[in-house]
Amino acid sequence: MNLHDIPVTTIDGRQTTMGEFKGRTLLVVNVASQCGFTPQYRGLEHLWREFRDRGLTVIGFPCDQFGHQEPGTDAEIAQFCERRYDVTFPMMAKIEVNGDGAHALYQLLKREKPGLLGTEAIKWNFTKFLVGPDGTVEKRYAPNETPEEIGRELAKRLGT
């Protein structure tokens, strides 16, 4: 299956596919509201605002598979993101990223760009994937790689 053919649901319940983002560079992130990395929402929003007119879309996928750090409903998550971090980048409905219930998008991302020592599993919240405009999975970033660090790469790639 091509990345752009994968169905997704927005955080407000709208059914679509990743094809909605075809032709854009994507930064796909599994997010959580009660994680030590949660303040990265601020940096992710900054990347979205800085680079969206140059072809970047940041997409958040809430996930509750790591330490029960995303316990809320989609509506609660959306409200938290808006109120606490002024998130305006696209957010999707809560998904699983590992195991038998892993979303098709994450199955593809992990297969295309495995992590350290070739392991496919997502190890924690705020793992990030860079996807090219054609749907090619180009890079995987660990949770501790900050949006600010990624922004330096994006500036070179997308222009400053």
| Per-residue pLDDT reduced to its tens digit, 46-76 | 999 999 999 999 999 999 999 999 999 999 9
Q: Tell me: the pLDDT tens digits for 7-29?
A: 999 999 999 999 999 999 999 99
**pLDDT reported for residue 160:** 65
So which residues are the catalytic ones?
A: 35
Which residue has 């808006």 as its token pair?
Answer: 82
Looking at residue 87, what is its pLDDT? 98
Amino acid letter at 4?
Answer: H
Report, as an integer, the average pLDDT of 124-137.
97
What would the mean pLDDT of 120-148 be, rounded to a whole number? 97
Mean pLDDT value across residues 83-104:
98
Residue 131 phi, psi dihedral angles, 5° rounding: -120, 130
Q: Does domain 1-6+32-133 have CATH number 3.40.47.10?
A: no
The length of the chain, given as a count of residues: 160
Q: What is the pLDDT of residue 26?
A: 98
- b (16+ CB within 10 A) / e for 83-122: eebebebbbbbbbbbbeeebbebbebbbebbeeeeeeeeb
The per-type count for the chain, helices as H runs and strands as E runs, is: 4, 6
Q: Where are the domains of the chain?
A: 1-6+32-133
